[in-house]
């Protein structure tokens, strides 16, 4: 196995391939018929992590051969699947560093005296149409379209300039030369092709590429804009929930996404725990939704924190387009797009934290935005939790699994076991007490390979890769 460690420094793009190996070929865990294998970890296993090193988003491209991560330092690191692992039998999910570039820089809005962070909020890939790859990345205010291309040939023998690029003296040109193409060492270039700016008053929380691959949406707290990928100076406002009087503001937009197949349909979630489905064919301004998905509140669970924990932090439509999942603070819900009244499935993520909501409110953890994702065939769901735990729910067998992305597993031949949390009473040997959970270690960002059981989990500055054991 090729072993890599990526060292992320605030203003440097360095790769440290001499560090200790941090991957194992045969570490795995079992849970009934579910069996997974630890594949790799990308990052530095050090305690002194700077804020800029923390991974803020993870995204596979459409065929799963590339995996992009963004961090709070404004960098994008792209990993490419190792060809040997891809073609091996059984196939292995191993990725090597492909390209690293600085996507966003810190800015300052002088009119509002507001600092704009360089943190990458979202990355979305465009479907591949030529040898190059294209992706959208965004911080709080500006969206950029990047082209990632390979170059393994160079042109030599120019007439008007030397090989180092300097212009030749015309008096020295005595003959006509035909430039020739020579092979060179492979170089991956990332270049910005479009910059979409000055369209959002509030912080951008979502971007989503339409199925037509020509338009995309960007959403902030109160508005959703529709962009054309070729037009940077104009966007169309398709959702606006800003009240005339801001004192009457009761909810904000938390996430938005286009339907995977129907280019006129989009969904967006709110801090009130509702999801609205909009059809752009009905009106240019989609303030009037077509469907409203909302679960009636259980009066027995009503508390001071009910409104906060019911806020939806992420919504994802299934690959088939029939279902969608929503993540609130304590659970993941599966919705059928044909049924608005209630979810068809509900999976508790960390119900044992319900008794800890007061302390979670005091340390602001209750406002954490956990993401969720579908497996390629929509049969499983994954989302994160605290103590570097992440949960996998099998919709077919109704089994669930709690795993930990920790440095302990980043050692050869270390057995990976399912984790269990003890809420009270006598604690068993393999269980961890809810009072011992580390709330500073949290899995907010996860991604699932579009066609295989390979998952990527971001834990602070480390990117863990897991695959099912065949």
Residue 388: predicted pLDDT: 93
Of 246, 260, 146, 247, nearest to 196 by C-alpha is 146
| Residue whose token pair is 């929380």 | 205
Residue 15: predicted pLDDT: 36
pLDDT tens-digit readout, 303-357: 889 999 999 999 999 999 999 999 999 999 999 999 999 999 999 999 999 999 9
Residue 199: predicted pLDDT: 94
Given a cut of 70, the residues of the chain with pLDDT beneath it are 1-39, 42-48, 410-416, 425, 469-470
Q: What domains are defined for the chain?
A: 36-468 (2.130.10.10)
What single DSSP character describes residue 86?
A: H
- Render 31-71 in DSSP notation, one character per residue: ETTEEEEEEEEES---S---GGGSEEEEEE-TTSSEEEEEE
pTM of the model: 0.85
3-state helix, strand, coil in the chain (%, to 5): 10, 40, 50
Residue 417: predicted pLDDT: 78
- Render 376-387 in DSSP notation, one character per residue: TTSSEEEEE-BT
What is the C-alpha to C-alpha distance for residues 13 and 135, in angstroms, rounded to an integer? 19
Residue 4: predicted pLDDT: 33
Assign 90 to helix, strand or coil. coil
Residue 163: predicted pLDDT: 72
Residue 413: predicted pLDDT: 47
């Amino acid at each position: 196995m090729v072993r890599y460690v990526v060292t992320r420094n605030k203003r440097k793009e360095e790769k440290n391939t001499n560090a200790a190996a941090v991957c194992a070929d045969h570490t795995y865990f079992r849970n009934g018929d579910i069996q997974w294998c630890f594949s790799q970890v990308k990052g530095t296993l050090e305690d002194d992590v700077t804020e800029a090193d923390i991974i803020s988003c993870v995204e596979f491209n459409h065929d799963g051969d590339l995996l992009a991560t963004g961090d709070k330092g404004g960098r994008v690191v792209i990993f490419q699947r190792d060809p040997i692992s891809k073609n091996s039998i059984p196939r292995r999910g191993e990725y090597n560093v492909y390209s690293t570039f600085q996507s966003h820089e810190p800015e300052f809005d002088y009119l509002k005296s507001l600092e704009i962070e360089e943190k990458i909020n979202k990355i979305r890939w465009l479907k591949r149409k030529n040898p190059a790859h294209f992706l959208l990345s965004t911080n709080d205010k500006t969206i950029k379209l990047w082209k990632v291309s390979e170059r393994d040939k160079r042109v030599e023998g120019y007439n008007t300039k030397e090989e180092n690029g300097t212009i030749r003296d015309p008096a020295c040109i005595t003959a006509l030369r035909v430039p020739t193409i020579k092979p060179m060492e492979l170089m991956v270039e990332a270049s910005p092709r479009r910059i979409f700016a000055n369209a959002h008053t509030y912080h951008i929380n979502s971007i989503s590429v339409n199925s037509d691959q020509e338009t995309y949406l960007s959403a902030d707290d109160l508005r959703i804009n529709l962009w054309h990928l070729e037009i940077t100076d104009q966007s169309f406002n398709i959702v606006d929930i800003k009240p005339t009087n801001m004192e009457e503001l009761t909810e904000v937009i938390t996430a938005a996404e286009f339907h995977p197949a129907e280019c006129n349909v989009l969904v967006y979630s709110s801090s009130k725990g509702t999801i609205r489905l909009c059809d752009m064919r009905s009106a240019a301004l989609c303030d009037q939704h077509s469907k409203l998905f909302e679960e009636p509140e259980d009066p027995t669970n009503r508390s001071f924190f009910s409104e906060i924990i019911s806020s939806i932090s992420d919504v994802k439509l299934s690959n088939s387009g029939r279902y969608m999942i929503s993540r609130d603070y304590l659970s993941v819900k599966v919705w059928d797009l044909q049924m608005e009244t209630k979810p068809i499935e509900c999976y508790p993520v960390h119900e044992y934290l319900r008794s800890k909501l007061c302390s979670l409110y005091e340390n602001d953890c209750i406002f954490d935005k956990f993401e969720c994702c579908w497996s390629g065939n929509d049969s499983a769901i994954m989302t994160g939790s605290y103590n570097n735990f992440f949960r996998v729910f099998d919709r077919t067998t109704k089994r669930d699994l709690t795993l930990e992305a920790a440095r302990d597993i980043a050692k050869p031949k270390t057995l990976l076991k399912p984790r269990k949390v003890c809420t009270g009473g006598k604690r068993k040997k393999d269980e961890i007490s809810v009072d011992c959970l580390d709330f500073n270690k949290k899995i907010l960002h996860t991604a699932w390979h579009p066609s295989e059981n390979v998952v990527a989990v971001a834990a602070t500055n480390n990117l863990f890769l897991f695959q099912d054991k065949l």
